[in-house]
Chains A and B, each alone.
Chain A
Amino acid sequence: MKTLLNNIQLQLTLQRLAHQLVENHNSFSNTAIIGIQPRGILLSDRIVKMVQNIIGNNCISYGKLDITFYRDDVHTTSDIQLPSETDISFNIEGKRVILIDDVLYTGRTIRSAMDALIDFGRPAGVELLVLVDRRFSRELPIHPDYTGYTVDTILTQKVKVYWQEKDGKDEVVLIDKK
């Protein structure tokens, strides 16, 4: 196991990502942030809080998206996926949407998320923010617009992001699966 980002590094990275978002979206008047369930929302919760602090405004459109029913591996995995809550209480029609997930790997989750998102309306544009980009492992032509940390990995490795709220610590690690 190797630590990619420790507590302090993770804080700095999150701060940078939040500032990058504000740089591109100013007051967030026509922008919505959507976290991908289940692990992406832990990241999006933090990012939204930071952005609100920076722009001094806490009425950002923020939603949570569950993509279970849009996955393409319903019959290939042994356990059927159980859904989490989807909570999008605003209209995404014409909005600029920022999708947030913790780790980008094959790109299939993001593909599902885009399909799921479009069932709620036609956004003006969709951007992708990820904390960790596992480079060179994509199976689909998907690329993040905001990246916290880039890492080269092999198939037998796994990137795990721990959050204080859920796991009791803030840390990003690289694990070797045997």
Chain B
Amino acid sequence: MIAIANFIYIYKTERIQGNMLSVKHLLGIREITAEDVALIFKTADNFKQVLQRPIKKVPSLRDTTVANVFFENSTRTRLSFELAEKRLGADVVNFSASSSSVSKGETLIDTVKNILAMKVDMVVMRHAASGAPWFLANHINASIINAGDGTNEHPTQALLDAYSMREKIGDLKGKHIAVIGDIMHSRVALSNIYCLTKLGAKVTVAGPPTLIPKHIQSMGVRVEYNLKKALEWCDVANVLRIQLERQHKPLFSTLREYALYYGVNRSMLDSLKKDIVIMHPGPINRGVELNSDVADSKQSIILDQVENGVAIRMAVVYLLSGKRDNIE
């Protein structure tokens, strides 16, 4: 029995030492394994160290060109990816839909094929349509990193969230994580659920019933409609943004009402018996889902999340860039 356990242990560590992600693209957390996440975290640790140095740049991808293709607005994610790529020594081209030929009616495949014709090795894409990166992966050869697709997934955000949590409270196995707010429209929520459950954490989603998809329990999460109860239960609360731009019909009466019932504020946190960690993927609607006296408090690790984002994205770009063999 011990021999078998030993064997399994060796097999597992060797898989990690295999030094390869099991995927060619990072489309979603759903497709990757817990070993992949461990490998990304381990690599990110090293990049975090690099980012503390006076010269925050390494030359490992100096022969790689990355295109950041953003069909949807973004500040953090795009900047974070761009910095990550530049600090790996890669050449970077940026593309945003508003200032491109997309407005002249060019299709997604045509746009990306044209970019790849200019010898680009990797594409980081954000798109308003769920599934767009999967569609693209079937049609082009370069590695694709999903930087958010519609209401589906935002894998690097989930990775940096889990990485920041782990940094703050240690191994996530058995830890209680509450994801609070607009679960229905949030790609961060879905990727977070996949990632956290893969790492063995217990996840509760909380928010108004209209913003929580039906049957979400089938993903192995608990549902809580009372914010106070969710906060009492959890070690970490990941508070999500209310995505008004995706809500095509009214799902709650007013923002004020939402803030009253589901906004996290100081007095509520003070009434808990413990200090929980507060996270937010940004951009924050201050005074709606999160009050300033919480967002700027010691309990909040929002800026750590942003800092870790660069290290995590460096790790993802670095690990995917190795798989160049079958790319023209």
State whether the Cβ of A71 lies closer than 8 Å to any Cβ in chain B: yes
Question: B53–A120 contact, CB under 8 A?
Answer: yes
Given that A70-B60, A82-B43 are contacting pairs, would A119 and B55 also be in contact in the complex, using a CB cutoff of 8 Å? yes
CB-defined contacts of A1 to chain B, threshold 8 Å? none
Contacts of B318 in A (CB 8 A): 69, 80
Closest residue of chain B to A91 (Cβ to Cβ) is B54
Measured in the bound complex, the distance between the Cα atoms of B19 and A79 in whole Å is 6
Q: Is A86 an interface residue (CB 8 A)?
A: yes
Q: Which residue of A lies closest to B324 (CB)?
A: A75
B49 near A86 with CB under 8 A, answer yes
Across-interface contacts of A121 in B (CB, < 8 A): 54
**CB pair B17 A82 closer than 8 Å:** yes
Q: Which of A82, A84, A115, A121 has most B Cβ within 10 Å?
A: A82
Identify which of residues 76-129 in chain A touch chain B, using a CB-to-CB cut-off of 8 Å.
Answer: 78-86, 115-116, 119-121
Complex Cα gap A6–B212 (Å): 68
CB-nearest residue of chain B to A115: B59
Q: Per-position contact with A for B273-312: 1 when CB-CB < 8 Å, else 0?
A: 0000000000000000000000000000000000000000
Given A69-B60, A75-B63: A83 touches B43 (CB 8 Å cut-off):
yes
Instruction: Check B321–A74 contact: CB distance below 8 A.
Output: yes
**Closest residue on chain B to residue A75 by CB atoms:** B324
Would you call A133 an interface residue if the criterion is a C-beta within 8 Å of the partner chain's C-beta atoms? no
A122–chain B nearest beta-carbon distance, Å: 11
Q: Which residue of A is nearest B64, CB measured?
A: A75
Q: Looking at the complex, which one of B20, B54, B57, B59 makes contact with A80 (CB distance below 8 Å)?
A: B20
The 8 A-B residue pairs with the shortest CB-CB distance, nearest first, are A80-B322, A69-B58, A69-B60, A83-B46, A119-B55, A75-B324, A79-B19, A82-B19
Name B's A-contacting residues (CB within 8 A).
Answer: 17-20, 39, 42-43, 46, 49-50, 53-55, 57-61, 63-64, 88, 318-319, 321-322, 324-325
